[in-house]
Structure 1
Amino acid sequence: MIAANIESHLQQVRARIQAACARAGRPPEQVALIAVSKKQSADAIRAAYQLGQRAFGESYVQEALDKMAQLTDLDIEWHFIGRVQANKTRQIATHFDWVHSLADPAHARRLNAQRPADAPPLKVCLEVNLSGESSKEGVDPADVADLLAVCDALTGLRVRGLMTLPAPTEDEAVQRQPFAALRNLRDRLATPARPLSCLSMGMSDDLEAAILEGATFVRIGTAIFGPRPYN
């Protein structure tokens, strides 16, 4: 039953991505799907993998490590999308391929120092707080250039783009505003040497708006796996 539900949901999400790309005049291959598997079981991840899904997003380090240990036979691309904590940076640097939520120069330096020497640079997106709310994670837009400069000097990291997590709303026009703001910020900061080609934005309820504004990663959990089975 788990596999059957995930198959149906994945088909629906992929169809939504294709339809949104058609509206935006973009090739569907420009948008990568990250299946947000936090609070989901290793069996659910395996079921999605068997249906062709390769990128999975986790927010809690120990939970992710437990599932990674059960799925060592699969060539999963692991994305860390949760809050980066100083006491977890070694595990993140060691076990993940991507970090979408980097917002602190000290965390950047720790991730760089703790990335294994035989591993490729850790791919990162800088999380931007576009709302200005102190309760939200992310770096202020005015400070992104300074954080980029710090990361550019760290050989163990490679900044690939920007990420944001806006406040939820059902109005597509309103949904598009922060996504457009992130794209515009990227366009101002991108250079030939560091094009910031990745925009990680859009979730189950607003993936269409994100794709219309240039998302290259959408992070989808509930629409694939259904409600989280445990807290």
Structure 2
Amino acid sequence: MTEKRKDELAANLRAVEERIAAACAAAGRPREDVTLVVVTKTYPASDVRLLAELGVRHVAENRDQEAADKAAETADLDLTWHFVGQLQTNKARSVAAYADVVQSVDRLRLVDALSAAAVREGRTLGCLLQVALDAGEEHARGRGGVAPEEVGELADAVANADGLRLDGLMTVAPLAGHYAGRQRAAFGRLMEISARLRATHPAANMVSAGMSSDLEEAVAAGATHVRVGTAVLGVRPKLR
């Protein structure tokens, strides 16, 4: 069963790699410009091990309990763990113990909580600000994210916080509002915000955008990281 699963993952990874390479070529970008982050939510730690054997080095989770358990089970592997889900401040201490990058920083209270937790753990956490391109839309309230006009203040807070490192920006393609169904335009807007951020924080050059269905649009816009789950691991069972 393990070998069969490994073969499945290898085939899926090859297909995703071909998509990323083709998107980079079409955009005139070197393939090494784009980092694949595999989102392993709902899948077991055994899949993380197989992915590592297949060369994956960046993995992501969006729920703390699942992430903490999986990171502990695979602590012997050379992996970079990304936390990509909405994060409550009371989970900051747990996340700071295993995550290398938190891609969903969206408010000052969370910055304070992550800073305190990182200092306590003696670690430095990379932080991406999650930008809500649909800020103000009714449905967006549960998805998190900072409004574009508030990025500067939040970025300064992260940059000045002990134990944190400002790495860049992240977004999820909007489901409603001006950019709904317009992923390329949405990711292009994120790149504009990134350029403005880099004017004051030059090292904050990571841009995480695009998932299984729209990674090509993200690469075309200039994303440095794409977050891919379903295309690598398969369709997830519906949560009850």
- TM category, shorter: over 0.9
Residues 130, 144 of structure 2: 8 Å contact kept:
yes
Question: What amino acid maps onto 1:10 in structure 2?
Answer: L
Partners of 2:200 and 2:150 in 1: CA distance:
21
Distance 1:191 1:155, change over 3 A: farther
Partner residue of 1:163 out of 156, 170, 186: 170
1:89 aligns with 2:96: no
Partners of 2:83 and 2:89 in 1: CA distance:
14
In the TM superposition, residue 153 of structure 1 has moved relative to its aligned partner by 1.3
Residues 97, 121 of structure 2: 8 Å contact kept:
no
Unaligned runs of 5+ in 1: none
Match of 1:149 in 2: 156
In the TM superposition, residue 90 of structure 1 has moved relative to its aligned partner by 0.3
1:111 aligns with 2:118: no
Match of 2:218 in 1: 210
1:32 aligns with 2:35: yes
Question: What amino acid maps onto 2:167 in structure 1?
Answer: R
Match of 1:8 in 2: 11
Matches within 5 A, 1:1-231: 1-116=4-119, 119-132=122-135, 133=137, 134-135=140-141, 136-167=143-174, 174-191=182-199, 193-229=201-237, 231=239
Secondary structure, counterpart of 1:199 in structure 2: strand
In the TM superposition, residue 166 of structure 1 has moved relative to its aligned partner by 1.2
What's the TM-score, normalizing by structure 1?
Answer: 0.93
Partners of 2:72 and 2:201 in 1: CA distance:
36
In the TM superposition, residue 35 of structure 1 has moved relative to its aligned partner by 0.3
Residues 96, 123 of structure 2: 8 Å contact kept:
no
How many corresponding residue pairs?
Answer: 229
Partners of 2:175 and 2:34 in 1: CA distance:
21
Residues 39, 230 of structure 1: 8 Å contact kept:
no
In the TM superposition, residue 229 of structure 1 has moved relative to its aligned partner by 4.4
Partners of 1:191 and 1:123 in 2: CA distance:
19
In the TM superposition, residue 194 of structure 1 has moved relative to its aligned partner by 3.3
Question: What amino acid maps onto 1:222 in structure 2?
Answer: T
Could you report, residue by residue, the CA deviation over 1:139-183 in whole angstroms, capped at 9, with x for unpaired residues? Answer: 0001111111211211211111100001369xxx92201100000
In the TM superposition, residue 230 of structure 1 has moved relative to its aligned partner by 6.5
Partners of 2:98 and 2:37 in 1: CA distance:
17
What's the TM-score, normalizing by structure 2?
Answer: 0.90
Give the aligned CA root-mean-square deviation in angstroms. Answer: 1.9
Higher relative contact order, structure no. (Cα contacts within 8 Å, ≥ 6 residues apart): 1
Secondary structure, counterpart of 1:131 in structure 2: coil
In the TM superposition, residue 4 of structure 1 has moved relative to its aligned partner by 1.0
Secondary structure, counterpart of 1:115 in structure 2: helix
In the TM superposition, residue 189 of structure 1 has moved relative to its aligned partner by 2.0
Question: What amino acid maps onto 1:145 in structure 2?
Answer: G
Could you report, residue by residue, the CA deviation over 1:72-131 in whole angstroms, capped at 9, with x for unpaired residues? Answer: 221111000000111100011121000000001111111011114674421010000011
